[in-house]
Amino acid sequence: MASANDDFLTVCGGCNAKIGAGNLAAILKSLPRPKQSDRLLVGYNSDDDAAVYRIDDDTAIIQTLDFFPSMVTDPYLFGQIAATNALSDVFAMGGDVVTCLNIVCFPEDSNMNILEKILKGGAEKVKEAGGILAGGHSIHDHRAKYGLSVMGKVAPDKILRNDRVQDGDVLILTKPLGVGMVVSAYNAKQTSEAAYQAAITSMTTLNKYAADIMREYPVDSCTDITGFGLAGHLTEMLHGEHQATLTAENIPMIPEAYECGGEFLTTAGGQRNRDFIGNRIKMTFDDYALEEVLFDPQTSGGLLIAVQPEYADEMMAKMNELATKPAIIGKVTKKDPTDPVEIIVD
């Protein structure tokens, strides 16, 4: 824990702190199901990115929240990263951010200047996203944690779900992978400042800009890549009915992430993701480092977009103007029900 005279944070998590998908699924199955309502368009009975509730024929609200302990020592950067991550779910579902509430856990005996910097970083990202910071809630805790509860809006017929892929869809990833491994390795002094700064840039870039382009096209499905890694979130998108073939050389990565994977500079969250995916992923060649990149938990990762092939090149021409350098990483086909493999990496 930081002392009262320190002006930095203890490093301990980001989206790597997320509870594993397997454990969550077992818990959620045991909970009583909410009363059915034709207004609740998306609830926790699916694996989607946020809840969606229809107000009227023209408007639905998107409701989400996200918070975690810091993965960086700089409190201002932590605030920016946590807010960018929390805001992402609204963009992934095709919506606009409306209001946000701060979620704060902070040690009672710690330096309040740290908290001020965290909140400043978060507030700036809310403003950049076009939202209004409307309040929040704080408690004392032994370790600093921060995030947002976010309300967005979307037209009911424009909601993007994470499990609506179609046969033939092209997969576009809007940010590079490897954030979890690079940041962990940097904190252990095992990777370069350049790689770390690339990860920071990725984590503090709003998915708003990619979403603004995405909404110009008839996208079938979208999700954002966070704690379950690309492999985990892609299996949610395929939902047991489709198969994705990824082109290994097209998968974007943070500089040095591949090297981190090869040197076993990985994360506990990545191992949980590997255990959960099991035999649902098949590599057509041996490449342990690449596997680790695919399983790596992403903090404030990019959007994974499934779009019909006739629109992919035009969308990518616009996406290429983004600083995060999106890429077409694969395609979707209908899956043989007898085949357990959902992701093939060529």
Task: Indicate whether 21 pLDDT > 70.
Answer: no
Instruction: Give the pTM.
Output: 0.90
pLDDT tens digit sequence for 160-192? 999 999 999 999 999 999 999 999 999 999 999
- Encoded tokens for 114: 């740290």
153 is in an annotated binding site: no
**DSSP label at residue 335:** P
pLDDT tens digit sequence for 222-254? 999 999 999 999 999 999 999 999 999 999 999
Q: Residue 17: what pLDDT?
A: 58
- Nearest-angstrom CA–CA distance, 165 and 242: 8
- Nearest-angstrom CA–CA distance, 155 and 96: 10
Task: Indicate whether 137 pLDDT > 70.
Answer: yes
pLDDT tens digit sequence for 38-94? 898 887 766 767 899 999 999 999 999 999 999 999 999 999 999 999 999 999 999
96 is in an annotated binding site: no
- The pLDDT confidence band at residue 4, using thresholds 50, 70 and 90, is very low
Q: Residue 50: what pLDDT?
A: 86
Q: Is residue 202 within 8 Å of 174, Cβ to Cβ?
A: no
167 is in an annotated binding site: no
Sheet strands (E) in 43-88: 51-54, 60-69
- Encoded tokens for 28: 């959620």
- Helix H or strand E segment including 113: helix 112-128
Which of 6-10, 269-273, 306-310 is the least confident region?
6-10
Sheet holding 96-106, edge to edge: 40-42, 51-54, 60-69, 145-154, 96-106, 132-140
224 is in an annotated binding site: yes
- Per DSSP bridges, beta strands 303-307 and 343-345 are unpaired
The domain locations on the chain are 14-158, 170-345
Q: Residue 45: what pLDDT?
A: 65
Give the residue numbers annotated as catalytic, written as ranges: 15
Q: Alpha helix locations (H) across 145-287?
A: 179-187, 193-203, 208-214, 229-238, 257-262, 268-277
- Nearest-angstrom CA–CA distance, 69 and 56: 37
The rounded percent of the chain whose pLDDT value lies above 70 is 90
Fold (CATH) for 14-158: 60s Ribosomal Protein L30; Chain: A; (3.30.1330)
Q: Residue 11: what pLDDT?
A: 54
Task: Indicate whether 2 pLDDT > 80.
Answer: no
**pLDDT, mean of residues 151-165:** 96
Q: What is the distance between the terminal CA atoms of the chain, rounded to a whole angstrom? A: 45
Q: Residue 42: what pLDDT?
A: 87
- Nearest-angstrom CA–CA distance, 41 and 20: 25
- Nearest-angstrom CA–CA distance, 26 and 45: 12
Q: Residue 36: what pLDDT?
A: 72
- The pLDDT confidence band at residue 22, using thresholds 50, 70 and 90, is low
89 is in an annotated binding site: yes
Residue 99: other Cβ atoms inside 10 A: 17
Q: Residue 28: what pLDDT?
A: 67
339 is in an annotated binding site: no
**pLDDT, mean of residues 296-316:** 97
169 is in an annotated binding site: no
Q: Is residue 230 within 8 Å of 294, Cβ to Cβ?
A: yes
Sheet holding 327-334, edge to edge: 219-224, 303-307, 170-173, 327-334, 242-246, 343-345, 281-283
Residues 170-345: name the CATH superfamily. PurM-like C-terminal domain (3.90.650.10)
Q: Residue 77: what pLDDT?
A: 97
- The pLDDT confidence band at residue 3, using thresholds 50, 70 and 90, is very low
